[in-house]
Amino acid sequence: MPVDQKVVAAPELVEAVRSIISEVMLVPRDKVGLDSALIGELGAESIDFIDMVFRIEDVVGHRIHVSRWGTFIEERLPGAELSSAITTTIVVEFAERERARAA
C-alpha cells in the first residue's frame, strides 16, 4: 500500500485513536490531527508506541502483541522516513487492522 493512501476507518475509531495519542503524548486533543507526525511533531518515542498499542487493545477488544506494531510499520512504510511518516492516520490504520482481526 503506498504511503500516501489512507484507509477510511469508522469515525469512532479515529476519535478513539486521537484521544489515545493525546493522552500518551500529553498534548491537547485538538493538536492531534490526522496528518500529525507523531515522532517529528509530537516527540513520540518507542515507549510511547508501546503504550498506544496497549491502549488500542482496549478499543479493539483483544490483546495485541507489540511486535505486530513493528511488523505493520515495516510492511506499511518500507524505507520511509519514520519521523514524518508515522502519523495519526497510520495508527488508525493499525487499529482498524487489529479491530478486523478480532472480528
**Whole-prediction pTM value?**
0.88
Contact 14, 90 (CB under 8 A): no
Contact 74, 22 (CB under 8 A): no
Q: Residue 23: CA atoms inside 13 Å, Cβ hemisphere, count?
A: 12
**What domain count does the chain have?**
1
Asked if the model's pLDDT at residue 6 lies above 60, the reply is no
**Alpha-carbon torsion (44, 19, 35, 10), positive or negative:** positive
pLDDT in tens, 54-90: 999 988 888 999 999 999 999 999 999 999 999 999 9
Any domain includes 4:
no
pLDDT in tens, 7-61: 445 778 999 999 999 999 999 999 999 999 999 999 999 999 999 999 999 888 8
Any domain includes 1:
no
CATH (domain of 97): 1.10.1200.10
Asked if the model's pLDDT at residue 3 lies above 70, the reply is no
